[in-house]
Chain A
Amino acid sequence: MTRLIVSRILQAVPTLWVIATLTFFMTRYAPGGPFDAERAIPEEIKVKLERHFGLDQPLLDQYILYLQNLLRGDLGPSFKYPEWEVSELIATAFPVSLTLGVLSLLVALLIGIPAGMIAALRRNSWMDYLPMSLSMAGICLPTFVLGPLLIFALSTKLGVFPPLGWYGPSDWVLPSLTLGLFYAAYIARLTRAGMLETLQQDYVRTARAKGASSWRILSRHAARGGLLPVLTFMGPAFAGLISGSFVIESIFFIPGLGKFFVTAAFNRDYTMVLGTVLFYATLIIILNLLVDLLQAWLDPKSRKEK
């Protein structure tokens, strides 16, 4: 277990360095700069600004300086909003995205797992067919179609939830549903397949022969193995939730990190782009590690291999 953690951390350092380097030079060699606004600023002010941010230095010096600052955990000031540090901007926007992500994940797990379990237990009945057809529809209905449809039905027509914004809990419902339902659909299918496989295992039959109640068989014996595919899916799902949140934030006008990132890229806000990319990468590395640790805990077989 400790070895896994240590090796992951050792692996993370070069990974993050490659990402930082790649992003740094990609943004710098791209056409346009942070001070090429549509409203042209006078040349001398532009020169002054560039000197202030060190943009007049040779690129390699800037790169080394950036890495040095990065090692001290300093992401630098935003070029577009000079009164803000990049870390402050991330700290403002990320909790919004995090709330959205956690709620969507809850929607996905709380709908997906029970639906999949019921479908597996009542195989080939309407309780299997109904959730499975719904989930197939859910997988094929992308968030950017589902979102507007939900707004249309629950907001424009019924007026139950506000259509956009991010002010209070009632604003949270539609975005989390939109993002979560897709994953719920996927998780339901994975749960069903995993449960069907474990329910045929000998140890489940033994438990049944010993007279364990069906609830006990389900919760103590079958769920542990049957939910492994779901867990494996969580790694890609986290990455998907992040990119999904870009779309959701754009549909519902939510001031999350995704929206900040896209705006920063358009504005050529070099430090903000770099900071966000590194932040996301670190987040994903940590989440993937958590998934692997959970998997090792649930599945003794994978523990031995590593």
Chain B
Amino acid sequence: MNISQSSSLGRDAWVRLRANRMAMVSLSLLVAISFVSLFGPLLSSYSYDQQNLDHIFKSPDSTHLFGTDNLGRDLFARTTYGGRISLAVGLLATLVSLIIGVTYGMLSGYAGGRIDSWMMRFVDVLYSLPFIIFVILLMVIFGRNFLLLFLAIGAVEWLTMARITRAQTLHLKNAEFIEAARALGYSHARILFRHLLPNLIGPIIIYSTLTVPAVMLLEAVLSFLGLGVQAPMSSWGSLIKEGAEKMDAAPWLLFFPGSFFCLTLFALNFLGDGLRDALDPKSSKD
């Protein structure tokens, strides 16, 4: 693979992304939200689980930037701490789905023939299942285990990734550079991971950006059903649930976590669209 060629492709994409105002706004927003989530808990003089029953339902002021909840816990600390959890779940579960989906799709497409058609049939069958039910079942039965949360969500979200990777692999596997690698007598593993994989990066990045919000949404749904992270820990989903219940008394409890969550989803969706336009100008729609 020609190194200078690939770096100029990346630079090309970066230039195109820079020109997309919506994508750049989204990127800055994401950086800002990640920054606040990462360092907010350190900057706040309260911890996310510190109760103060003398200061319950305080509306936002200079001591409690986002107000306090029914146990007098500082909402700023809880929102930023929840951001860490939500973003971590989003990224790690996407990584899980990425590893499963890309490996599966690549193997299926590269193998071809009957193996390919069976492997894809399996994906079709899984596609037609109400997977949320299994995730709920897993979370209810085996308790709210953090690791399980990643695995369960990742296991649900890998299907589309596998399809995309397979299609791309089918497209590339007869390309000249793969043929050349085969003629040189390289092993299948080497061809798959050293030659094929680098050329799949574009679609993988694009789809990952769109998987992160989907995963965060799923985590929030689980938290909302009371199956996500356990109190006193918080995630945006669990905070929104608490906020929704106490909306009449303390609307800020819904407003702040809700805004953070919606803005993040908004930014991720726009960034995904922007990346698609930047990395794959052909597929962009008007």
A residues adjacent to B (C-beta < 8 A) = 11, 15, 19, 23, 26-27, 30-32, 136-137, 139-142, 144-145, 147-149, 151-152, 156, 193, 196, 235, 239, 242-243, 246-247, 250-251, 261-262, 265-266, 268, 273, 276-277, 280-281, 284-285, 288
CA distance A151 to B254 in the complex (A): 13
Do B129 and A262 touch (CB < 8 A)? no
Do A246 and B225 touch (CB < 8 A)? yes
**Residue B166 is within 8 A (CB to CB) of chain A in the complex:** no
Task: Write 29 A-B pairs (CB below 8 A) sorted by A numbering.
Answer: A19-B129, A23-B137, A26-B141, A30-B141, A31-B141, A136-B269, A139-B269, A140-B265, A142-B221, A144-B220, A144-B244, A145-B240, A145-B244, A145-B261, A148-B243, A148-B247, A151-B247, A152-B247, A152-B248, A239-B130, A242-B132, A246-B132, A246-B136, A246-B221, A251-B244, A262-B140, A273-B137, A277-B134, A288-B128
B-side contacts of A196, CB under 8 Å = 286
B-side contacts of A136, CB under 8 Å = 266, 269
With beta carbons under 8 angstroms apart, the residue of A26, A141, A235 that contacts B137 is: A26
Q: Give the distance to chain A from B271, nearest Cβ to Cβ, in Å.
A: 12
CB-nearest residue of chain A to B217? A142
A-side contacts of B217, CB under 8 Å = 142
Contacts beyond the supplied A142-B262, A144-B224: 10 A-B pairs with Cβ under 8 Å:
A15-B125, A30-B141, A139-B269, A140-B265, A144-B241, A152-B248, A246-B136, A277-B134, A280-B130, A284-B128
A-side contacts of B265, CB under 8 Å = 139-140, 142
Do A266 and B266 touch (CB < 8 A)? no
A246-B225, A261-B136, A273-B137 as given contacts; A15 in contact with B128, CB under 8 Å = yes
B residues adjacent to A (C-beta < 8 A) = 125, 128-134, 136-138, 140-142, 217, 220-221, 224-225, 237, 240-241, 243-244, 247-248, 251, 254, 258, 261-262, 265-266, 269, 285-286
Do B224 and A250 touch (CB < 8 A)? yes
A-side contacts of B141, CB under 8 Å = 26-27, 30-32, 265, 268
Q: A-B pairs with CB below 8 Å: how many? A: 107
A-side contacts of B136, CB under 8 Å = 246, 261-262, 265
Main secondary structure of the interface of B (DSSP, over half): helix
CA distance A23 to B131 in the complex (A): 12
A-side contacts of B129, CB under 8 Å = 15, 19, 281, 284
B-side contacts of A148, CB under 8 Å = 243-244, 247, 254
A-side contacts of B237, CB under 8 Å = 144
Do A280 and B133 touch (CB < 8 A)? yes
Do B240 and A250 touch (CB < 8 A)? no
Do B130 and A141 touch (CB < 8 A)? no
CA distance A36 to B247 in the complex (A): 35
CB-nearest residue of chain B to A14? B125
Do A243 and B254 touch (CB < 8 A)? no
With beta carbons under 8 angstroms apart, the residue of A30, A156, A261, A262 that contacts B142 is: A30
